[in-house]
Amino acid sequence: MMVEIKRLLAVLALAFSCVSMWGCGDDVRFLESGSRKEGSFVMVSDTTALLAVYYYDHYERHSGADWEECTKMGMRLVDTRGTEYCYWEGLIDSCSGLKIEPLSDSTVLYLGRNGDEWFEYYFWKIKENPVLKKAKWENGRLPISLNAALMRTWKNGKFLFKYYDKFALLDTAANIITQITKEEAGWPDDVDDAQYFGDDLFTIVLYPNKFSFSIVRNGVDTLSTFYEEPPNDYDERHERFNGRYISRMKEDGWYLYSTDSNWQISKEPVARYRDQRYFAPLNHE
């Protein structure tokens, strides 16, 4: 019912604006309602993941111009083995978020509206309702788009946003976002990714050929190392934390590797996420 009301209001608003302009006679036609998956995902287990989703209504003018209007957003718990069977879906009547970041095996930080002076975010546990919070920018204006930044759990229960050489820290207790420097953040040099797990800082350190890497704790303890021979068409690769999983970017998408309780990396990937925003079988060509 809410979706139908929103659709009707959108058409009425457009019709009113059309009447207000002399010479406007371009009719509007509703085409379809649909949904699509967005770019961010969170691994839950070796065979399940959360995907950000976006619902829309599709319209077309008589002249041929068409557009989409967002109706709601949320996330899906899906199978990662190629079928993407949906086990659960949670939605919010808002169009202010597109990105999810892992907090634990069952909870994510859902990033929402990025205003000039404030930022919306949700703590969202699978199969439960999200908890909405708002954070104020300490100096009155956000310096970076937090939705576009890399987000990592950081020390003292805070969250670090990294956008190239800019950093911001979200304090969820005080609900304040503060711009900080790389030195203030404590982001190490020469690492591909960094994140706190508990009180320890874990980093992904690349080998010179950028195809093998190690997981290092607090800059001194090498917990595990992943070796792989570069293929004939070798190009630069990237490794990222996805909770306790490691995402490896290759030419045909992201390959996900699991880690055990001692941070030993699985020899083979457990899932593959394609650039077209879907999970595919590992043997899919």
Distances (CA, A) of 112 to 14, 121, 245: 26, 5, 24
Using the predicted structure, report yes or no on whether residue 215 has a pLDDT greater than 60. Answer: yes
Residue 67 has a pLDDT of 86
Share of the chain above pLDDT 90, in %: 48
- Of residues 277 and 223, which shows the higher confidence score? 223
Q: Identify the CA nearest to 175 among candidates 120, 125, 110, 131.
A: 120
Q: Examine the pLDDT at 218 and tell me if it is beyond 90.
A: yes
Provide the pLDDT for residue 16: 47
Tell me which of 81-95, 161-175, 179-193, 220-234 is least confident: 220-234
Q: Check residue 2 and give its pLDDT.
A: 45
pLDDT score of 239: 92
Instruction: For residues 210-227, give the mean pLDDT.
Output: 93
Distance CA 96, CA 89 (A): 17
Sheet order of strands, 271-274 included: 238-242, 245-250, 253-257, 271-274, 278-280
Give the pLDDT mean for 249-263: 91
Per-residue model confidence as pLDDT tens digits over 32-68: 998 888 878 999 999 999 999 989 999 998 777 888 8
Helices (H), the chain: 2-20, 182-185
Q: How confident is the model at residue 234 (pLDDT cuts 50, 70, 90)?
A: low
